Structures are given as structure tokens and as C-alpha cells.
Amino acid sequence: MSVNSTHDAADEPIGVAVVGAGYWGPNLVRNFQASADFRLRWLCDLDVGRAERVLGGYSTVQATNDLAAVLADETVRAVAIATPAASHLEVAMSALRAGKHVLVEKPLAASSTQGRALVAEAEHRGLSLMCDHTYCYTPAVLRIRDLLHHGELGELQYLDSVRINLGLVQRDIDVMWDLAPHDLSILDFVLPPGVAPVAVAAHGADRIGAGRACVAYLTLRLNTGAIAHIHVNWLSPVKIRTTIIGGSKRTLVWDDLNPSQRLSIFDRGVDVASTEELGDEQRRDMLVSYRSGDMVAPALTEREALRTMVEEYARSIRSGTPALTDGRSGLRVIAILEAASRSLADGGRLVELSEWAAQ
């Protein structure tokens, strides 16, 4: 896949530059510095002083506000972008056209049109385009993905996610675009092969006069008949990060704020006998039974998600194969957000995701 596949396969560290020294950039700097797979060469920011403060004693890393100089450096083979979403297209496209592999902070781009342009450019040039959907690389979500993909929970029946807190009201985006990308990227990441959203409806409210929805509910219909529900909220006095995933065999509860027991798997649920097993007189009434078994809390090794994400970026570059959260996964998330925005503007109308499966 990679135009530099021979070079990328070498054991030597991959030269990388981070663009953006604001909120997220320092986290990327720290993890690239700690990775044996990469050698951080540049930190680029419009405010050079801010970049220098982030680097601190990292004397081998150069700070600059000149993106062109960074992209002209032949020792830089990869770029990580942590700038505002409105700039993702310009910065990422420039990096791809300079022959660099690209990692982009969520969202991939400001629109699906821009996202498709980036995906097409990366594929045309044989470069890795990865979206930094950090939550997907937490030990809990990696375990959830494994459980769903291997059928340990049975067939997915529903997913219910709550991501609420007394958060910062953004000036340029609503609560859906701020918080729901986390849950949508996780949904995209953990769904078993062949299972996908086909429609979304969104309801929201702005009761503080912010000019945009501060509370929102997204309901996604899956192609299997299952349902996914996401609640995001900037106005809650308590912080909750909980997801319940109901399967035909078991139900999983993920409490991200409980480090001692993030995952709980319950062998409890409802069993319904097939009508084929019932006599003619019983077919009208489904036989329902309730299962009450044990609860298991799987042990998880605590590990920073960004560290695992950086390793996946290196694997993708060296192998020339797509990252687990590649550009197309980022594009699918944007497509759902755009459809949800259309639904929100139209009073919660169900919007088909006909384009989603084609991404």
C-alpha cells in the first residue's frame, strides 16, 4: 500500500511531526516521545512560544510555525494533526500531497465531502490515513470489541450509552458534534462484521440560550433490527460515562468512571422460545422466560489508550494496511453526525443512512 513500503518496513524509528500544540497536541507529543516506533522531529503551531513551552526540555525536537518547512523535511514520514476541525482538510491534504502518512484528531474533517477527499487522496498515494478515535484503544473497548466479534454476548439486541457532564459549551458546534463522535466511533469499532446503522433520529434542546443544542439524544436503527441509543449533555451536574450492551446471551455494562470494575458481564436476560417449538394454540403467545445467572467482572490491564493508538499508527505505516480506525471509519462517523444534524433540524425525523454502508 505505502509508496515508501520498503522504507516503512525498516526497524528504524519513523520520523513524525505533530501539528497543533493546544489541548490535544501535548498528549500526542508525550506519547510519540515515549514510543520506540517513532522519533518526534517537529512540533508545529501558529504560536511558536506555545510549542516551545510544550516541548520543554526536548531539545532534539524543533518548534516552528512553518508547516511547509515541516512537510519539506524528508526525515518526516508521518504527521499527527491536532488542530481545529475546520483546518483538518487543508493541513491533512497538504501532508498527504507531500507524501506523509497522516493521523488526524477527531473528527476526520468538518464534513463528509471533505472526509471523502482525504480518504481518496490517501488511497491514491498509498498512504496511511488514521483517525485518532482514542476511546477505541482503551482496554475496555478493545475487550468489548473482542467479545462482540467472537459472539460471547450473543446477537446484539441494543446499545445504550450515556455521556453527560457539566461541560464546556462550545462556540462553534453543538453537543452532538462535541461528544457523540466518541460514542459513534466506539459503536463503529465494536459492531460485529455485517452489522451497521441504517438510520438515525436525533432530538435536542437548548434551554440556556446558547444558540445550539446542549442536550441531545440520538437513536440509531441497525440493519439487524437492533437499536443503539446515545445521550449526550453539557448541562448535567454529575458526570456519567456508562454504556450498556445487551446481547442474546449476556449483557455488558461499561462504567468508564469506575477504574476498579470498568466492565461487568451479566448472565441475566430474557429468553424467548421460537414459535417453531410451540404448538398451534401457543403460537399467539411467545413463551418468555427470565434468566438470572452470575455476574463476571473481567480483569483489564490499565494502559493509556493513546499509547496503544500510537502503536497502531506505527503498525499501519510499517505494514501498509489500514489502521483499525482508518479514514473510512472517521468518514462513517461524520456521515452519521450529518444525518443526525438533518434529523435534529427536522424535528427528529428518521433519516436513512443509505450512504453509510457505501463509505
Residue 280: the pLDDT is 56
Q: Are 346 and 338 in contact (CB under 8 A)?
A: no
Distant-in-sequence, close-in-space partners of 225: CB < 8 Å, separation ≥ 6: none
Encode pLDDT of 186-196 as tens digits: 999 999 999 99
Residue 289: the pLDDT is 64
Q: Superfamily assignment of 5-127 in CATH?
A: NAD(P)-binding Rossmann-like Domain (3.40.50.720)
Encode pLDDT of 127-182 as tens digits: 999 999 999 999 999 999 999 999 999 999 999 999 999 988 888 889 999 999 99
Residue 249: the pLDDT is 94
Residue 167: the pLDDT is 84
Q: What's the CA gap between 114 and 102, in Å, rounded?
A: 15
Cis, bond preceding 107 (omega within 30 deg of 0): yes
Residue 11: the pLDDT is 79
Q: How many CB atoms lie within 10 A of CB 332?
A: 26
Q: What's the CA gap between 163 and 161, in Å, rounded?
A: 7
Does the domain made of 136-305+335-358 have the CATH classification 3.30.360.10?
yes
DSSP state of 164: E
Stretches in the chain below the pLDDT threshold 50: 1-9, 355-359
Please indicate whether the domains covering 5-127 and 136-305+335-358 agree at the CATH topology level.
no
Q: What's the CA gap between 73 and 37, in Å, rounded?
A: 19
Extents of the domains making up the chain: 5-127, 136-305+335-358
